[in-house]
Structure 1
Amino acid sequence: MAPPEGLDAFLAAHGWTEARVLPVAGDASFRRYFRVESDTRGKAILMDAPPPHEDPRPFIHIAQYLNGNQFRAPEIFATDLACGLVLLEDFGDRRMREHLDMNPQDEVAVYRAAIDAIVRLSATPPVESQPYDMATYLREVQLLSEYYMPAMGLTFDAAEYHAIWTQALSPLAEYQKVTVLRDYHAENIMLLDDGQQGIIDFQDALVGHPAYDLVSLLQDARRDVSPELEAEMLVYYRAAVGTDADFDAAYALLGAQRNTKVIGIFTRLWKRDGKERYLSFLPRMWGLLERDLAHPALAPVKAWFDTHIPPEARRSSPVDLNKNG
């Protein structure tokens, strides 16, 4: 992975002359990441967010908000917005996911700390950002109809699909009260040497419902979270903030909305971007979605899924169908 053009001049301008630049794992976007190492300055992470595909300004804005409210987001060292370059604090390599894979005995404590951050975020005035509103919810669930349904050769009535989700999501239409990080899960939480948890990949944050980040954490698309641990952590969250039946319904509804969206996104990453590995997550996503659809508040949505995507279709892979077709 070649470093971005103009990197040497950018680093030299900010005191990182002759630093070593090494690639690190990226994500599902056009962003790329490099570790910058200097004998005199130490280490930093370079985010390459090339325009017009990426815009680093939302990341910088949210990072400043989080750090200004005593959360641990990477400190911003230097920027070149025209080139999409951001030099930021290096949180190391100890992600929550890999740490728990190696140290399962830490699971309860680490998840409690992650939920503590959600609780504090809910009590903090929200960031200046766009609302997580009905139009956004509906646009996201359309990803399943735009990518997954055609990939699986499944037919449906688009107007009916839209109407069912509109009705289901209506209780949340006006609930924009807290900062929602949106991708708050075990691959975006770093365990720091000082015992704190660092947060990364938050540039898409909106203002919405506190249950969304709980869903993102406890119904993780990339890591198995047992139903028992999910239930235990929900009890922990409820004890901290106090919730009611409306919150439980919102949690299931936002879980169904998010998991529906993610199935569409992972299918798009395969179909459009050639990233077939994301299809391996679909069985987990279907398991999570089916648990959410079991809530009584989602009965009409469950009926639609049972009619149009029967269990045997959910166990099939779009790759296999396309090969056979």
Structure 2
Amino acid sequence: MQLIRRFEGAEELEAFAAELSLFARPGMAVMLSGDVGSGKSTFARAFIRALAADPDLEVPSPTFTLVQTYEETRVPVAHADLYRIRQASDVAELGLDDLASSHVLLVEWPDKVMEQAFAGRLLITLSGEGSVREATLVAAGSWAQALFRNADIRGFLAGTHWSGARRRFLEGDASFRRYETLEMSGDTAILMDMPARPDGPPVRNGKPYSAIAHLAEDIRAVIAVNAVLCARGYSAPLTYAQDLAKGLAVVEDLGRDVYGNMIRAGQDMREPMLEAVAVLAHMAGQEWPEVVPMTDGRHVIARYDIDAQLIEVDLLPSWFWPHVTGSDIPVGPRAAFDDLWRSLLPFTQTLQPVWVLRDYHSPNLIWLPGRQGRKRVGLIDTQDCLLGHPAYDLASLLQDARTDISFEQADELHAHYCDLRQADRSFDRSAFDLAYAILGAQRATKILGIFARLSKRDGKHGYLRHVPRVSRYLERNLSHPKLAGLKAWFDAYLPLGAREER
């Protein structure tokens, strides 16, 4: 892909560098070519400062050090200046090959490394005189995808109130879902970048994992779910603008008082947690639609059926077992594991399903103290909503995989939820507690598999620090008498001590 851009002054070039930094990932490389004074250093400094979210960050030229690394930026950066390198063989001594997998490379005078392979390479050739600069961009690999996507975003925003807004990275990954903060005239909003999810390989009955587990395929799901939640008085983000075909939307910014951040900061969480429980109790008392009308058709809310639950618990024998034991699970234990879950999961298939958000936990709840009642709980990451048992979201909240929720606090909040449900004559406390234990165990089992997969397949080893916490939740759920058989399986093959050690 080739693109030519013209900039009237250094500020426009710096803004463009900051815009491209939104897509930077380890393994990508930006090659800056051009004569002395063409703007290479101007671009490099703006790119690094944007990744650091610090416009005053000192970014010295690596003319004499040759390579300068930045580890505290959103993505680690290796900034190289190869002007003094006379032959390509000398480049090997700089260690750029080692840095390429963990950093985004930013290389001035890149002639000596143009033959190297990168996950994505962007060659920017700068030219011009005075304050005017022209940049010719030649992109390959992931950088070509990023430039195409950035063009989509620029075109989308141009037709909205947020045209010309300053864009800042918020969170996300390059493969499926990203979020940016839009700032303009003192107002903020969130750009959702959620293109259609590519299907993975078939894993069962010719279907990919995402189809069996009913994971959202595109942005339509979150737009549909949020619209209904807002209409019913819950604080999901309002949608200001959308392009469903391109997977883009501008939505309300609910702020940064995320429950997880508040917990880590040691803030008093009693009131926010009580209100989060009250939201679930209120949701459990309503009838929820299976079909949501949309401007381009409709969105169907699937059932959280046994096939979806089974494919999720399958992550443990597929990923966590090899992580702990170093070998594949034998046929006998695997068959016993499947049979035990097939005997338990029917107890979670309620005749009166409600909307289950599936990720109702501290990273996806935002405290809004300026609002009233249940509106004080902001709800995000709702796209994987299904129709299922209300105990699932309560287990998600009180058995948080990333944050310590003490058993004492969880018990108090569980009792509070049940007290709120007592007015509902159909509420059966013993049946609910059984479903809560089964779904808590099912969720913990799934998460152990996910964390092992993130480590093994994606190199994201940091998730493993949560394994002991999730293992303790699992053990507590297994203490329910009806789960005695499943507990015996774990005791025999993956006991608590073995899980925590990993």
TM-score (norm. length: structure 1)? 0.91
- Alignment partner of 1:200 is 2:380: yes
Distance 1:86 1:100 in 2: 30
- Alignment partner of 1:48 is 2:220: no
After alignment, is 80-89 or 177-186 more displaced? 80-89
Q: Which residue of 2 aligns with 1:81?
A: 244
Stretches of structure 2 lacking an aligned partner (at least 5 in a row): 1-21, 24-145, 199-216, 291-300, 423-427
1:124/1:93 CA distance change after superposition, 3 Å: same
Stretches of structure 1 lacking an aligned partner (at least 5 in a row): 318-325
Distance 2:456 2:351 in 1: 34
Distance 2:377 2:411 in 1: 22
Q: Which residue of 1 aligns with 2:168?
A: 22
Q: Which residue of 2 aligns with 1:290?
A: 475
1:93/1:211 CA distance change after superposition, 3 Å: same
Residues 175 and 208, structure 1, Cα contact 8 Å, conserved in 2: no
Q: Which residue of 2 aligns with 1:139?
A: 311
Q: Which residue of 2 aligns with 1:150?
A: 322
Q: Normalized per residue, which structure has more helix?
A: 1
1:281/1:63 CA distance change after superposition, 3 Å: same
Q: Normalized per residue, which structure has more strand?
A: 2
Q: CA offsets, 1:198-229, max 9 Å, x none?
A: 10011101111111111000000111000110
Q: Which residue of 2 aligns with 1:189?
A: 365
Shift of residue 175 of structure 1? 4.3
Distance 2:315 2:370 in 1: 40
Which of these residues, 170, 173, 177, is aligned with residue 353 of structure 2? 177
Which of these residues, 247, 254, 260, is aligned with residue 432 of structure 2? 247
Q: Point out which structure has higher relative CO (alpha carbons under 8 A, 6+ apart).
A: 1
Counterpart code for 1:180: V
Counterpart code for 1:201: D
Distance 1:256 1:138 in 2: 12
Shift of residue 193 of structure 1? 5.0
1:217/1:268 CA distance change after superposition, 3 Å: same
Q: Which residue of 2 aligns with 1:38?
A: 184
Q: Which residue of 1 aligns with 2:117?
A: none
Q: CA offsets, 1:54-110, max 9 Å, x none?
A: 511111111011011111100011112232211110111111122233354x32211
The count of corresponding residues between Structure 1 and Structure 2 is 315
- Alignment partner of 1:62 is 2:225: yes
Distance 2:228 2:174 in 1: 24
Distance 2:178 2:306 in 1: 31
1:29/1:97 CA distance change after superposition, 3 Å: farther
Counterpart code for 2:251: L
After alignment, is 78-87 or 68-77 more displaced? 78-87
1:191-230 paired onto structure 2 within 5 Å: 191-195=367-371, 196-230=376-410
Q: CA offsets, 1:151-191, max 9 Å, x none?
A: 22253332221111101222223545111111001111111
1:246-285 paired onto structure 2 within 5 Å: 246-285=431-470
Higher radius of gyration, 1 or 2: 2
Residues 132 and 206, structure 1, Cα contact 8 Å, conserved in 2: yes
User: Pairwise CA RMSD of aligned residues?
Assistant: 1.9
Is the partner of 1:187 in helix, strand or coil?
A: helix
